[in-house]
Amino acid sequence: MSVTSAVERWLDEAAELTRPAKVLWCDGSPAEYDRLADEMLRDGTLLALNPRTYPGCYLHRSHPSDVARTEQLTFICTWAREDAGPTNNWMPPADGKVRAGAFLRSSMRGRTMYVIPYLMGPAGSPMSRTGVMVTDSAYVVASMHLMTRVGPVAFRHMRSDDDFVAGLHSLGDLSPERRLILHFPEEQLIWSVGSGYGGNALLGKKCHALRIASWRARQEGWLAEHMLIIGVEDPAGRVTYLAAAMPSASGKTNLSMVVSTLPGWRAWTLGDDIAWMWIDAQGQLRAINPERGFFGVAPNTSPRTNRNATEMVHANTIFTNVALTPSGEPWWEGLTPEPPAGLVDWQGQPWRPGGGPAAHPNSRFTVPVAQCPSVAPNWEDPQGVPISGLIFGSRRSAVIPLVFEAFDWRHGVFLGSAMSTETTAAITGTVGLVRRDPMAMLPFCGYNMADYFAHWLTTGPRIATPPRIFRVNWFRRDADGRFLWPGYGENMRVLRWMVERIRGSADAVETPIGWVPTPAALDTSGLDLGPAQLAAALRCDRGEWLAALRDLDAFYAGFGPRLPASIAETLAETRRRLRDSARR
């Protein structure tokens, strides 16, 4: 490996602070992965699962207070507070280093510091970026093996001595009181201490590929987004690529590998969480998935909800905080209709029905993308795939119709900026609260979101044919609390409508909020779904919308004069259209 002097300096600094007993370079090889797994089996960090039905699979149980992202302990440490913006926690960089430095000082004493050079993005892609992270957690190293491209390939993508994102991670004492996840975008630097949880500790993922990358993307004119990438193939074999932003634990992984219920239509998986998108020389928007693994939510994953995921996690998978059956197999709520007898819960205790969930609601599987049965043959194409449509989806039991299309790019950016969602177990805190989550990036945007909206607004006009922008909500309910739309494989019907809109062949009606499918344009053949229910799923309720828009004013006001005028204007236009529609 050719290690630059800037990398060496960074490693010296990290070792100086954390004082490890030894330093071990990772090469990303299968032998290294097996060695780490053996060590973790010996010290109890991992349990081997049934080698016959789950070969190469392990169970990891985390500290019970370390099971999700902790947003209140996540900070953007820019020099100027306004550059982090009102939606991020902020700390001056020097303060961050003093506070986290106290937890990191000698935190690796007696432990090994693993050095992980990793690449985000396919080998050979002009978009791929290098990171060098250190950690004292073997579980993090093994997970990085699955989630990123570890090893010498990372150094081959550096364009200069210091062209890498530096990441320092230490488990510390795992106490939330001594936990901090800090981002220094101006220094391309991440410090994370006190957590071994994926979103806090696998620094290539949210910290690098979203928070630091989004900052970089704005400077360089591209987009780093919390989006899955999918190819939708029609009966003639034509594939249309879409990227979709959805909040954590809201069905993104399921949609990325959806099994179609429509004859002749199928979906190809390219990524389930992050998309890096840029405009090529022809003016086409293209996307790569910077990751090489899935870190998916286990509960409710089943042959019915996600057949591909259920199949792909039968080998070479690390499960975290799932339950264990007496035959050494993983189990989680929803995997089978009835829990098997003799379960051990996610904390290793005998489980009794009625005694709370057996698997933690945010329990996860970590598995290579290549194992997905629906993986696209071109998923690692260094040039990415052309994107024709963008989807913003959230979890709302009311207000938001199943699907509608923005009038144009500017309107679509407004719809993304106005998104709100019901919170899930992927973050520490109350589940089910409605909160704003613009573009599903609220927890992941590494800079002021007003500037982020502005960046989106200027990106569209640079694209020769800007992607159509769609808004979806699989989670709308009727008065009795029942879901109006069956979801899962049936979502292909909605994807089909989008593809046909992109091609100019599907019908829609103009409403104050955008283009909504005519009932006949959405293929519902074979579904047990009457016209009244479909109408309810697609309905734009003027009163509900006007009420929902009310609280947007306060949200936008928080950005002050930095909010692009176009966002406020589009909000005003939307109100006007809603009010006018009452008079007609």
What's the rounded Cα separation, in Å, for the pair 491 and 493?
Answer: 5
The first and second tokens of residue 21, run together, are 């007993």
Measured distance CA(312)–CA(295) in Å, rounded = 12
254 binds ligand SAT (CB under 6 A): no
Does 155 bind ligand SAT (CB under 6 A)? Our answer is no
Nearer to ligand SAT, 207 or 513 (CB): 207
Nearer to Mn ion, 273 or 329 (CB): 273
Q: Which of 401, 190, 204 is nearest to 291 (CA)?
A: 204
Of the candidate residues 121, 122, 172, 198, the single one contacting ligand SAT (CB under 6 A): 198
> Among the residues of 115-228, which ranges form H helices?
138-147, 198-201, 213-220
Q: The tokens of 481 are what?
A: 């609390």
The first and second tokens of residue 380, run together, are: 């690692």
Q: Which of 70, 74, 248, 417 binds ligand SAT (CB under 6 A)?
A: 248
Q: Is 366 in the site for ligand SAT (CB under 6 A)?
A: no
Among residues 182, 402, 426, 534, the one that binds ligand SAT under rule CB under 6 A: 426
Is there binding between residue 295 and ligand SAT (CB under 6 A)? yes
Letter string b/e over residues 179-206, b meaning 16 or more CB atoms within 10 A of that residue's CB: bbbbbbbeebbbbbbbbbbbbbbbbbbb
Using CB under 5 A, list all residues that contact Mn ion: 248, 273
Nearest CB to ligand SAT, comparing residues 365 and 409: 365
For the beta carbon of residue 534, count every other beta carbon within 10 angstroms: 18
Query: 3-state DSSP call for residue 438?
Result: helix
Distance CA 321, CA 310 (A): 17
Any contact of residue 69 with ligand SAT (CB under 6 A)? yes
Residue nearest to ligand SAT (CB): 199
Task: Determine the longest span between alpha carbons in the chain, in angstroms.
Answer: 75
Query: How far, in Å, CA of 6 to CA of 164, rounded?
Result: 9
- Does residue 179 interact with ligand SAT by CB under 6 A? no
At what angle are helices 5-18 and 93-104 packed, to 10 degrees?
60
Q: Does 293 bind ligand SAT (CB under 6 A)?
A: no
Which one of Mn ion, ligand SAT, none is in contact with 218 (Cβ closer than 5 to 8 A by kind)?
Answer: none
The residue (of 452 and 515) whose beta carbon lies closer to ligand SAT is 452
Cα torsion at 184, 190, 194, 200 (round to 10°)? 110
Residue 198 binds: one of ligand SAT, Mn ion, none (C-beta under 5 to 8 A by kind): ligand SAT
> Which residue's CB is nearer to ligand SAT, number 195 or number 511?
195
Kindly state whether residue 564 participates in binding ligand SAT, applying the rule CB under 6 A.
no
Question: Which partner in Mn ion, ligand SAT, none is near 153 (CB below 5 to 8 A by kind)?
Answer: none
Report strand pairing: 112-120 vs 180-184: unpaired
- Residues in contact with ligand SAT, counted by CB under 6 A, come to a total of 9
Nearest residue (CB) to ligand SAT, 240 versus 248:
248
Of these partners, Mn ion, ligand SAT, none, which one is at the site of residue 472 (CB under 5 to 8 Å by kind)? none
Residues that bind ligand SAT (CB under 6 A): 69, 198-199, 205-206, 248, 273, 295, 426
